[in-house]
Amino acid sequence: MKEYLTAKQISELWNVTDRQIQILCKASRIEGAERIGGIWLIPENAVKPTKFKAKNKPKEQKETI
């Protein structure tokens, strides 16, 4: 039987916010994550995604002469 952890528990292991974990689960970025009764359950052996997608990328500054 697989052991699952909550988004809060995973967030403490990975040193990110629990909201960020919820966002990653919703975006299917964490393999094996399941939503049961409004709670995200994540396999304890889940792998942390290597890159988090940023919504607001900083715009490149144009060089002024």
Q: What is the pLDDT of residues 23-36, one digit of tens each?
A: 999 999 999 999 99
Domain assignment present for 27: yes
- Label residue 55 by pLDDT band (50, 70, 90): low
Is residue 39 a part of any domain in this protein?
yes
- Domain containing 38: what range? 4-43
**What angle do the packed helices 7-14 and 18-26 form, to 10 degrees?**
110
Task: Specify if 53 maps to a domain.
Answer: no
> Cα-atom radius of gyration of the chain, to the nearest Å?
16
The reply to whether 55 falls in a domain is no
Beta carbons of 8 and 16 less than 8 angstroms apart:
no
- Note the pLDDT of residue 2: 74
Give the C-alpha separation, 38 to 54, whole Å.
Answer: 25
Q: Is the residue at 19 inside a domain? A: yes
8 within some domain: yes
> What's the number of domains the chain is made of?
1
Q: Is residue 18, in this structure, part of any structural domain at all? A: yes
